[in-house]
A and B are shown apart, each in its own frame.
Chain A
Amino acid sequence: MSVSRLLFIAGLSAAVAAAAGLAAGVSAAQDHTAATLKPASDFEQITDKTARAVALFEEAGKVIQHPRCVNCHPAGDKPLQGMGMHPHQPPVARGEADIGMPGMMCGTCHGPANVDVVAQAETIKSIPGNPAWHLAPIEMAWEGRSLGQICEQIKDPARNGGKTLDEIVEHMAHDDLVGWGWDPGAGRESVPGTQEVFGELMRRWAADGAACPKA
């Protein structure tokens, strides 16, 4: 199995996504309030820059450590599912390109957008989807790590996909797959706040020196 073949397939599914556009059968975006994610401005009264950066990252950690995010940053080869973070059913594995195994790729079930499931299990209201649906590479595994460890990991180009701090902030603030966390489809709890508020927390954290929590 060549990685290029898999990537070719991934490219195809992205093309399908583009063609589908505003596909019907796609979950309507839910109205999420920022009530449970404090805006960066709330941290301005912290005068110590390092302490403020740590506080900002801890707030952002409510998103980063949410099962919606960690489930696809597993420590092993298998994604997790649900708020209980149980192993994914059906059993799937990351494969060479983090998009599944040949014959059962992520795209075998996950399309370019969330899909509502109609009149089936009340515990499966939708199948999540995104044009870029895939697992975070193993070096970006977050499962089982403390927020401090994740913070150091995010800053380390060897473990963040070779990104600069600015690129990390940009990724967190605007990446579409990251944004899926705020629009995870019917029957799924979204991560707190909005991507905009989260992005601003990350931006200020970086601007304040990107200090990490101790644990």
Chain B
Amino acid sequence: MTFQMITTTRRGFLQGAGLVIGIAVAPKAFAASVAQGVPAGGGSGLPQMNAFVKVGTDDTVTILSKHIEFGQGPFTGLATLVAEELDADWNQMRAVHSPADDKVYANLMFGMQGTGGSTAIANSYEQYRTAGATARAMLVAAAAEEWGVPAAEITVEKGRIRHAASGKESGFGALADKAAQQTPPTDPKLKDPKDFVLIGKDLPKLDTAEKSNGKAIYTLDVLADDMLFAVVAHADHFGATVKSFDDGEARKVQGVVDVKQVPQGVAVYADNTFAALKGRAALTVEWDLSKAETRSSSELEADFAKMVAEKGIDAVNKGDVGKAFSEPGVQSLEAEIVFPFLAHAPMEPLDAAFVMGDDGVLDVYTGAQFPGGDHMAAAQVLGLDASKVRLNTQLAGGSFGRRAQFGSPYMQEAAEVYKASGGKRPLKHMWTREDDIRGGFYRPMYLHRMKGAIDADGKVVAWDQTIVGQSIMGKASTELDDSSVEGAHTLPYAIGNLRVISHNVALTIPPLWWRSVGHTHTGFAVETFVDELLQKVGKDPVEGRLAMLTNEPRHTGTLKRVAEMADWGSAVPVGRERGVAVVKSFGTYVSQIVEVSRDEGGFPRVHKVWCAVDCGQPINPNVIAAQMEGGVGYGLGAVLFDEVTLGEGGKIVQSNFHDYRSIRINEMPHVEVAVIASTEKPTGVGEPGVPPIGPATANAWRRLTGTPVRRLPIVPGGVS
């Protein structure tokens, strides 16, 4: 692949300090009415570019991140890959979001631009290094030409280009324009990992300062002159539509400009956010529930339970499970585990801004996890040619999967709202927290029926698991969705007779991947059930697992490491118990040990978590550790407190953080992380910290109290 160097002669990209990551204020030439918003590519009005690296005459090096930055660290990680091969100084590195382009900026594992599945580093590892190496070669070629010396004699170190014999030396900036004129090398050589100077180091993150002083710009912060603010009244039943509405009172609210019906509900437009909210509160909407889900969660669960006995899809069926259970001397264990719907609840609810640029192209600002999809959805809804819409990915206040949706239903709503406004004024559309918690696209509800057989020697000889729930990928009832069974049908434990059956349930409630996808429930079911089987035959949870992980060296590596960290087997303080779990997800292996006690309310209190992670070649161990800490907190909060339930008649019960609890600082355990040294290809860390924490906690809890966890969340109603 080749890379085009963009010089400062192209419009305005690198104009100095104002263009530091995330705080760029759009140049006035871009769109006179935009007061605040970060243009994709960092430079407004620039044509879409096949570029991952830009070298400024001011010596800054800016990488264009094809992946959205929402806390998992791609700005820092991708910049590290580029800086390593470019031999740049870390202090000169910057990062911005790339424009939306499903070809140029494709996730090489997806075939389209997208962030998800913990793939940002994994799919970019060679691509961004190659981009850096290409830029380096072109800078060296420029220096050779400028100085009249052989390129082979030129060295680059920490952002300085040198020719020792002549004593010539330069920064990148002075040679940037000339470098852009060079022919890119066809096959730039990448470093041997033993020569890495930046990869594997705890480099400071590029976006910390702006995120600590209020200057980082998120979609909610996009401002334009004469902006309209819009919110939509949504139904509190899934599948409900507007039957009729009365906007008389809403229109009387000071600041309300208009009210329009859109396919998703009733939109209220106002001169400021509060007026829009007040107008929405003053609406009277009658909803048509004729096509809505009217079953309650308990009715759904009963229907799921009936399906267990029906014929499902074999995800795996090896050996002879039926025979294994009927062998003489075999004892068996059964369990049914119920998982609730989970909302992602990112801190920044979904939002988007629409501002018509002075070049006649509509700028759309949003936290796009699938920028190409969001771009197309906006263009389609608005009836515009794709070239007349520019999608500007903004920093996003978390996502956890929420901002990645096929068909971009959120963007469809936002675009419908903009379309119905007539597009005369710039517009920002915002969801409230209630819109978010009640917005569907949940981690689906699942029911697992587990059955295990142990022979007379105490060996687990059969595993029979049935999983009932929605297919996140929208598969038909006869077609296996790997994401429903991942981690179960790929059970790492050597068990001769293994059967995993999947049932796809069709519901009106839209499903979605939620940080670690299928592993959110399969990891829990597998790791709690295997722990129970081991306990039943008196085996140690760590030793017992290791004995069954006969062909899994990386599971084994993290498990042994975490046991060392926790000094597994040593005395545990009175009133506490420990639990362990190991889950491989997205190519990354994570083992965790937790220490749990019973709190004053009678519920689990997790004090300490030891975590060992093997994600191949570590790029930035500090970012990896942060993702493990965050994954533990996110997963633990859900396991302890969270469920979205449908009440009588299908009405959604929860609505905000008071009844859809987030873990808080007083509930956060101390997490100690070890990153396993490795030169394997790097794999992701955004999600894999999540799956083990639930089962490790439940295992410790069962050993402490004798009560297995058969239903999540552990704290009923989420209030302890």
- Which residues of A does B touch, CB under 8 Å? 86-87, 89-91, 118-124
Contacts and interface: CB of A to CB of B under 8 A. Distances in A.
Contact of A123 (B231, B277, B601, B655): B655
A104 B281 CA distance: 30
Interface string B641-682: 000000000000001111101001010000000000000000
Interface string B421-432: 000000000001
A120 B434 contact: yes
Contacts of A89: 657-658, 661, 719
Interface in B590-624: 601
Contacts, number: 39
B720 to A, nearest CB: 7
B666 A91 contact: yes
A121 B720 CA distance: 20
Interface of B: 231, 274, 277-278, 280-281, 432-434, 601, 655-659, 661, 664, 666, 719-720
A119 B281 contact: yes
B231 A124 contact: no
User: Which 9 A-B pairs rank lowest in CB-CB distance, beginning with the nearest?
Assistant: A119-B277, A119-B281, A121-B656, A121-B655, A119-B280, A86-B719, A89-B658, A118-B281, A118-B278
Contacts of B656: 120-121, 123-124
B719 A87 contact: yes
A77 to B, nearest CB: 11
Given A89-B661, A91-B664, A122 B655 contact: yes
Contacts of A120: 277, 432-434, 656
Nearest to B600: A76
B452 to A, nearest CB: 38
Nearest to B437: A121
Nearest to B667: A91
A149 to B, nearest CB: 22
A131 to B, nearest CB: 25
B651 to A, nearest CB: 10
16 contacts: A86-B719, A87-B601, A87-B720, A89-B657, A89-B661, A90-B664, A91-B664, A91-B666, A118-B274, A119-B278, A119-B280, A119-B281, A120-B656, A121-B434, A123-B655, A124-B658
A124 B434 CA distance: 11
A89 B719 CA distance: 8
B19 to A, nearest CB: 36
State the majority secondary structure of interface residues on B. Answer: loop
A89 B655 CA distance: 14
A91 B720 CA distance: 10
A23 to B, nearest CB: 15
Nearest to B665: A91
Contacts of A119: 231, 277-278, 280-281, 432
A121 B658 contact: yes
A86 B719 CA distance: 7
Given A118-B278, A123-B658, 6 more contacts: A87-B601, A87-B719, A89-B719, A119-B277, A119-B280, A120-B432
Interface centre among A90, A121, A123 (most CB of B within 10 A): A121
A91 B600 CA distance: 14
Central interface residue in A86, A119, A121, A124, by most chain B CB within 10 Å:
A119
A118 B277 contact: yes
Nearest to B655: A121
A90 B719 CA distance: 10
Contacts of A122: 655
A94 to B, nearest CB: 15
A119 B659 CA distance: 17
A118 B719 CA distance: 24
Nearest to B659: A123
A91 B432 CA distance: 23
A89 B432 CA distance: 19
A194 to B, nearest CB: 30
A86 B603 CA distance: 14
Contacts of B280: 119
Contacts of A90: 664
A123 B719 CA distance: 15
Contacts of A124: 656, 658
A141 to B, nearest CB: 16
Contacts of B433: 120-121
A90 B231 CA distance: 26
A67 to B, nearest CB: 15
A140 B657 CA distance: 31
Contacts of B659: 121, 123
A99 B656 CA distance: 25
